[in-house]
Amino acid sequence: MESNLTNRRIAEYLSQGKRFDGREKLEYRNIKIETGISKNAEGSARAKIGETEVLAGVKLGMAEPFTDSPESGVLMVTTELSPMASEKFEPGPPSKESIELARIVDRSIRESHVIDLDKMCIKKGEKVWALFIDIYPINDAGNLIDAATMAAMAALLTAVFPETDKEKEKIEYGTFTTKKLPLSEAVPIAMTFYKIGDSIILDPTVEEEEASEARLTIAMSKDKKEEVINAMQKGGSSPMSEKEIFHIIDSAEKEFGKIYKTFEEQIKSK
């Protein structure tokens, strides 16, 4: 039950620099990532931030390339906000929220060029690899956007090509090669900043999300030793001042390295 009283207390406490669960303003809850959680997928992962849990899977198919890029593979990112994750999600066709989430993750991946789609060609102009990333939040305890991006990236980083027949005409589903996808070092990490009163926080709980009036997602990656911003998305009903946005950009730059390191450690430890 959303409570105005609790919302006010959260804002009040934040103005003292404190959060209900004792975290710092830009501190993430415990991040835990498992890969290879679904055997039939070419790549899969479970990402947990606190109790927020998202599953993601990578499936490969074959498709005709787009006419304006006859040598590029095709990438498609979808998200289903299953009603199992929250009483706020309704069954039915994808809601605007689920489409927004998918598109934020899509842009983060596409713009970072972490996947070299030009290396996903099978026969120029005729046949290319189709890369499907499907994301399923299964428990919403706040901050789905960041968890969804981590799950998608973890699945991608550990994905392999499936076996095909000799002529590369079709895929032998269920059998896998050991060949990983053509990926670069530029792994995107999404950081969604939430505004509550005059305070800006990262990784909100459900209560904190309910108390917030606006959010700004910044996806960053390391492009040849330089940190760049690949995607941004502002959400929520209140506007933000230029000062607030600059503060967020500075914070993103400051925090990116730390979060990326945590993400990397989690992937490597599996």
Q: Which residues bind other proteins (CB under 8 A)?
A: 1-6, 8-9, 12-13, 16, 18, 20, 37-41, 44, 51, 53, 55, 57-59, 61, 78, 80, 82-87, 91, 93, 132, 134, 136, 138-141, 171, 173-174, 206
The nearer residue to other proteins, 88 or 258, going by C-beta atoms, is 88
The nearer residue to other proteins, 76 or 229, going by C-beta atoms, is 76
With CA atoms as reference, report the closest residue to 209 among 139, 141, 146: 141
The dihedral over CA atoms of 78, 83, 88, 93, expressed in degrees to the nearest 10, equals 50
The nearer residue to other proteins, 207 or 255, going by C-beta atoms, is 207
The nearer residue to other proteins, 53 or 255, going by C-beta atoms, is 53
Evaluated on CA atoms 106, 112, 113, 115, the torsion sign reads negative
The nearer residue to other proteins, 59 or 195, going by C-beta atoms, is 59
CB of 73 to other proteins, least distance (A): 15
Evaluated on CA atoms 82, 87, 91, 95, the torsion sign reads negative
CB of 87 to other proteins, least distance (A): 5
CB of 18 to other proteins, least distance (A): 8
Integer angstrom CA distances of residue 10 from 52, 87, 210, 239 = 20, 22, 10, 20
Q: How far is the C-alpha of 150 from the C-alpha of 259, rounded, in Å?
A: 10
The token pair at 263 is 């993400």
